[in-house]
Amino acid sequence: MRVELIFSLVLFVLSVTIFFVSGNYSELAATFPKAVAVIMGTLAGIYVVQMLLKKAAPHPFGDYPFYRIILFLVLLVLYLVCLNYMGFYSASFAYYLIITLGLSREKVQKKQIAVSFCSSAAFMGMLYFLFSGLLKVQIPSGMFI
C-alpha cells in the first residue's frame, strides 16, 4: 500500500471526524468549524482520488534511516520532560551536548566532546545573561537552574 494514499485517507477521516464532532456544539459555535470541515473533506477526497490515479511515488523518507528521526524525537520528548525536573538551563545544556555529539559525522573523540561541552556552556551562558540577567523573563524551572 502506498504511503501517500494512506496519508490522504487519514486526512479524509480527520475531516469527517471534525464534521461530526462539530455537531455536538451549539449552532453558532458549530457554523464555522462545520463549514471548514466540509471544505477540508472535499479537498481530502480529491487528494485521495488523485493518489488512487497516481503511480506509486518514491518513499517520502527515501533511503534515510527512519530510526534516526525517531531517536531524535525521543530525545526531544526526554528533554521536554526533564525541563520541569532539572530546569531550563541544565536540561538544555545536557540536550545540546547530546545532540551535538550524537549528530557528529565522525567518531566521537575527546576533542569533539570538549568542543561540544565548551560550546554548550558558552551558549547557555549567553542565554542566561540575556534571559535571566538582562531581560529577567520567566523560564521553566526545576531542581537546578
1 binds another protein (CB under 8 A): no
Residue 28 makes contact with another protein by CB under 8 A: yes
Q: Which residues contact 113 (CB under 8 A, 6 or more apart)?
A: 101
C-alpha 114/C-alpha 54 separation (Å) is 51
Query: Can you say whether the dihedral through the CA atoms of 59, 65, 68, 70 is positive or negative?
Result: positive
Question: How many angstroms separate the Cα of 52 from the Cα of each of 12, 61, 75, 111?
Answer: 14, 20, 37, 53
Interface map 41-70 toward another protein (x if CB under 8 A): --xx-xx--x---------xx--x---xx-
**Which residue among 9, 11, 113, 145 contacts another protein (CB under 8 A)?**
11
Output the smallest distance, CB 76 to another protein, in A. 7
Number of Cβ atoms within 10 Å of the Cβ of 120: 20
Q: How far apart are the first and last CA of the chain?
A: 49
Which residues sit at the interface with another protein, rule CB under 8 A? 4, 7-8, 11, 18, 21-22, 25-26, 28-29, 31-33, 36-37, 39-40, 43-44, 46-47, 50, 60-61, 64, 68-69, 72-73, 76, 79-80, 83-84, 88, 92, 95-96, 99-100, 102-105, 119-120, 123, 127, 130-131, 135, 137-140
